[in-house]
Amino acid sequence: MRYIFFCIFSFTLWMLWSGQYALHHPLVLAMGVLSCGFVVYLVSRLDIVDEEGIQIHLARHLFLYIPWLLWAIIKANIDVAKRILSPKLPIAPRIVRVRGTQKTDLCRVIFANSITLTPGTVSLDLDGEDIVVHALTEEAADDVQSGDMDRRATAMER
* For the ranges 61-65, 69-73, 125-129, the one whose mean pLDDT is highest: 69-73
Mean pLDDT confidence for 56-67: 82
* Higher local confidence (pLDDT), 7 or 100: 100
CA distance 14 to 155: 31
Residue 71: CA atoms inside 13 Å, Cβ hemisphere, count?
6
Contact 58, 97 (CB under 8 A): no
pLDDT tens track for 98-112: 999 998 888 899 999
Q: For 22-39, what is the mean pLDDT?
A: 82
Count how many residues are written for the chain.
158
Rounded Cα–Cα distance for residues 10 and 29 (Å): 13
pLDDT over 70 for what percent of the chain?
A: 91
**pLDDT tens digits for range 47-59:** 766 665 556 677 7
| Residues in Cβ contact with 109 at an 8 Å cutoff, skipping those fewer than 6 apart | 126
